[in-house]
């Protein structure tokens, strides 16, 4: 069915096309632009700054007491680490499989990332966390729910309590995802989100930091560059929480501006609906790709409810690098854009841990073996479940062509 008379099936939608912003965002942004009041601490005629309103709305949506809106997800991580007391030279545990802003935030503090192995389920190896916490003396764990895969959060919480680790969640890929009904980002001291265009809400760039801890949030607020305007934050702690922070924390100027907050406020109303649409789209992609024998797709854990804005799959172990590259290129030629995590040179968002040369070299043989066979495909909300069938037809074809010999092991892995 794939080779039709007019040539092989092609997919012609863009993997990077965003939804248009909701009309409410566009209208409110126009009014804001006409007023010229773009800084978060302007005097807003109608009362509260849109940034403060966003902080209030997002904290409530995420099930957290406090929220600070920032200029990027990377800055949310950096400020969270600093507010958590991480000092230059300190060791910080984090996933070996994550996006570059995570080790980047740790490096920006002059701290040292200690990388944790990732299993074929794409989740960090909890035994490796215990081992490396003991060996390194690290007191902080930045747990990155990379590509939306959350580990067993009951076990993570118990492990952190047992080892005395402060948990900071990188929830950039899990906005709205839950573990046994509880939102990701709320399990530790802080949760960090990104609102850049390829995440669940889109303001071009942006970050949100949530916490239930008043003094931590006070420190983060001063760090964000509040010029002592902390009384004008929407979901901030009271004056008493700032007694020390206002003198001890440097101003790192990473505020969110009113325009981005306005764009996000208009999206917050529909966020739960978008989360449900992503879950449906991911389920469709999961179903369609699961029928391709050569591909192994890490499944959610019981108790986990992810929000897949992308899908990942592993190809058989005997596919070498050249086969992986040829498969990716053949899919791309038919309109299916895949990212491959096995490339030696960092490409797009897929940099591998060994290309973060600003870290002390660390070998992660299991992570390296997983990444060598790992592919990633974006699922923008401009796709429909039917699109997933077209994509699966192309992937099935090209997988067959890449390695025509049947792979017994790959079916059951
Ligand atoms: C996007 C992202 C971040 C933060 O990215 P910014 O571009 O700084 O907003 C952090 N962690 C992960 C896993 C991400 O994908």
Q: What are the tens digits of pLDDT across the range 181-208?
A: 999 999 999 999 999 999 999 999 999 9
Residue 145 pLDDT > 80: yes
Residue ranges of alpha helices (H) inside 116-202 are 126-136, 153-163
Q: Quote the pLDDT of residue 344.
A: 84
Residue 273 pLDDT > 80: yes
**What mean pLDDT comes out for the span 168-183?**
98
67, 226, 233, 298 from 120: Cα distances, Å: 34, 43, 42, 7
With a 6 A CB cut-off, is 257 part of the ligand 1 pocket?
A: no
* Distance between CA atoms of residues 51 and 56, nearest Å: 9
Which residue, by CA, sits nearest to atom 8 of ligand 1?
Answer: 74
Q: Quote the pLDDT of residue 44.
A: 84
**What mean pLDDT comes out for the span 92-114?**
97
318 — pLDDT class (breaks 50, 70, 90): very high
Tell me the pairing of strands 140-144 and 91-95.
Answer: parallel
DSSP 266-300: HHHTTHHHHHHHHHHHHHHHHHHHHT-TT-B-PPP
Closest ligand 1 atom, residue 74 Cα: 8
How close is the Cα of 74 to the center of ligand 1, in Å?
A: 6
With a 6 A CB cut-off, is 74 part of the ligand 1 pocket?
A: yes
* Distance between CA atoms of residues 405 and 133, nearest Å: 43
R_g of the chain, CA atoms, integer Å: 22
Residue 70 pLDDT > 60: yes
Residue 413 pLDDT > 80: no
Contact yes or no for 380/18 (Cβ under 8 A): yes
How much is the mean pLDDT over the chain?
Answer: 94
Which residue, by CA, sits nearest to atom 6 of ligand 1?
Answer: 73
With a 6 A CB cut-off, is 99 part of the ligand 1 pocket?
A: yes
Closest ligand 1 atom, residue 192 Cα: 10
How close is the Cα of 397 to the center of ligand 1, in Å?
A: 33
Closest ligand 1 atom, residue 349 Cα: 15
Helical axes 101-108 vs 73-83, angle rounded to 10°: 40
**What mean pLDDT comes out for the span 164-181?**
98
Residue 412 pLDDT > 70: no
Q: Quote the pLDDT of residue 405.
A: 61
With a 6 A CB cut-off, is 146 part of the ligand 1 pocket?
A: yes
1 — pLDDT class (breaks 50, 70, 90): very low
With a 6 A CB cut-off, is 49 part of the ligand 1 pocket?
A: no
Q: Is the dihedral of CA 279, 67, 26, 72 positive or negative?
A: negative
* Distance between CA atoms of residues 102 and 109, nearest Å: 12
* Distance between CA atoms of residues 71 and 275, nearest Å: 23
**What mean pLDDT comes out for the span 258-265?**
98
**What mean pLDDT comes out for the span 57-76?**
98
Contact yes or no for 113/161 (Cβ under 8 A): no
With a 6 A CB cut-off, is 73 part of the ligand 1 pocket?
A: yes
With a 6 A CB cut-off, is 309 part of the ligand 1 pocket?
A: no
Which residue, by CA, sits nearest to atom 3 of ligand 1?
Answer: 73
* Distance between CA atoms of residues 232 and 213, nearest Å: 18
With a 6 A CB cut-off, is 98 part of the ligand 1 pocket?
A: yes
CB neighbour class for 36 (10 Å; exposed up to 12, middle 13-18, buried from 19): exposed
With a 6 A CB cut-off, is 149 part of the ligand 1 pocket?
A: no
* Distance between CA atoms of residues 17 and 378, nearest Å: 10
| Residue 357: how many other CB atoms lie within 10 Å | 7
**What mean pLDDT comes out for the span 251-280?**
97
DSSP 3-state percent helix, strand, coil across the chain (nearest 5): 40, 15, 45
Contact yes or no for 92/228 (Cβ under 8 A): no
How close is the Cα of 408 to the center of ligand 1, in Å?
A: 37
DSSP 75-135: HHHHHHHHHTT--TT-EEEEESSS-THHHHHHHHTT-EEEEEPB-TTSSB-HHHHHHHHHH
Closest ligand 1 atom, residue 207 Cα: 9
With a 6 A CB cut-off, is 194 part of the ligand 1 pocket?
A: yes
* Verdict on whether the full-model pTM lies above 0.85: yes
Residue 113 pLDDT > 70: yes
With a 6 A CB cut-off, is 387 part of the ligand 1 pocket?
A: no
* Distance between CA atoms of residues 310 and 327, nearest Å: 19
**What mean pLDDT comes out for the span 393-411?**
77
Q: Which two tokens stand for residue 232?
A: 């004008």
- Three-state DSSP state, 224: helix
Q: Quote the pLDDT of residue 2.
A: 45
With a 6 A CB cut-off, is 173 part of the ligand 1 pocket?
A: yes
Q: Nearest-CA neighbor of 89 among 133, 138, 132, 134? A: 138
Q: What is the pLDDT of residues 30-54, one digit of tens each?
A: 999 999 999 999 988 778 999 999 9
**What mean pLDDT comes out for the span 317-323?**
95
Ligand 1 probe mutation, 169, 196, 209, most atoms within 8 A of CB: 196
Q: Quote the pLDDT of residue 404.
A: 65
With a 6 A CB cut-off, is 170 part of the ligand 1 pocket?
A: yes
Contacts with 347 (C-beta within 8 Å, 6 or more apart), sequence order? 339, 340
With a 6 A CB cut-off, is 32 part of the ligand 1 pocket?
A: no
| Residue 248: how many other CB atoms lie within 10 Å | 9
With a 6 A CB cut-off, is 206 part of the ligand 1 pocket?
A: no
- What angle (nearest 5°) sits at the alpha carbon of residue 16, between those of residues 21 and 62? 55
Contact yes or no for 56/103 (Cβ under 8 A): no
* Distance between CA atoms of residues 64 and 83, nearest Å: 17
Between residues 361 and 349, which one has the greater pLDDT?
A: 361
How close is the Cα of 200 to the center of ligand 1, in Å?
A: 11
CA dihedral 131, 137, 142, 146 (to 10 degrees): -30
């Amino acid at each position: 069915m794939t080779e039709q008379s007019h040539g092989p099936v092609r997919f012609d939608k863009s993997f990077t096309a965003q939804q248009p912003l909701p009309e409410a965002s566009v209208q409110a942004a126009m009014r804001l632009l006409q007023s010229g009041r773009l800084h978060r601490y302007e005097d807003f005629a109608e009362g509260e700054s849109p940034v403060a309103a966003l902080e209030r709305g997002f904290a409530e949506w995420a099930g957290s007491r406090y929220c600070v809106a920032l200029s990027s997800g990377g800055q949310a991580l950096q400020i969270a680490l600093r507010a958590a007391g991480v000092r230059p030279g300190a060791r910080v545990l984090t996933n070996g499989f994550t996006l570059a802003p995570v080790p980047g935030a740790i490096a920006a503090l002059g701290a040292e990332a200690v990388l944790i192995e990732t299993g074929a389920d794409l989740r960090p190896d909890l035994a490796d966390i215990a081992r490396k916490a003991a060996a390194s003396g690290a007191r902080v764990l930045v747990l990155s729910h990379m590509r939306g895969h959350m580990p067993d959060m009951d076990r993570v919480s118990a492990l952190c309590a047992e080892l005395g680790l402060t948990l900071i969640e990188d929830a950039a890929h899990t906005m709205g995802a839950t573990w046994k009904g509880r939102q990701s980002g709320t399990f530790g001291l802080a949760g960090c989100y990104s609102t850049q265009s390829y995440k669940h809400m889109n303001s071009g760039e942006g970050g949100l930091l949530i916490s239930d801890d008043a003094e931590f949030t006070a420190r983060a607020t001063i760090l964000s560059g509040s010029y002592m305007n902390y009384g004008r934050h929407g979901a901030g702690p009271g004056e008493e929480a700032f007694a020390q922070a206002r003198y001890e924390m440097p101003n790192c100027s990473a505020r969110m501006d009113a325009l981005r907050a306005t764009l996000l406020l208009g999206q917050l109303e529909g966020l739960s609906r978008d989360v449900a649409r992503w879950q449906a789209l991911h389920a469709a992609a999961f179903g369609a790709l699961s029928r391709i024998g050569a591909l192994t797709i890490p499944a959610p854990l019981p108790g986990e409810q992810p929000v897949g804005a992308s899908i990942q799959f592993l190809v058989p172990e005997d596919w070498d690098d050249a086969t992986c590259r040829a498969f990716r290129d053949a899919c791309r030629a038919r309109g299916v854009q895949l990212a491959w995590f096995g490339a030696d040179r960092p490409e797009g968002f897929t940099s591998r841990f060994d290309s973060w040369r600003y870290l002390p070299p660390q070998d992660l043989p299991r992570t390296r073996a997983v990444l060598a066979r790992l592919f990633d495909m974006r699922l923008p909300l401009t796709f429909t479940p039917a699109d997933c069938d077209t994509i699966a037809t192309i992937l099935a074809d090209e997988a067959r062509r890449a390695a025509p010999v049947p792979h017994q092991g790959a079916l059951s892995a």
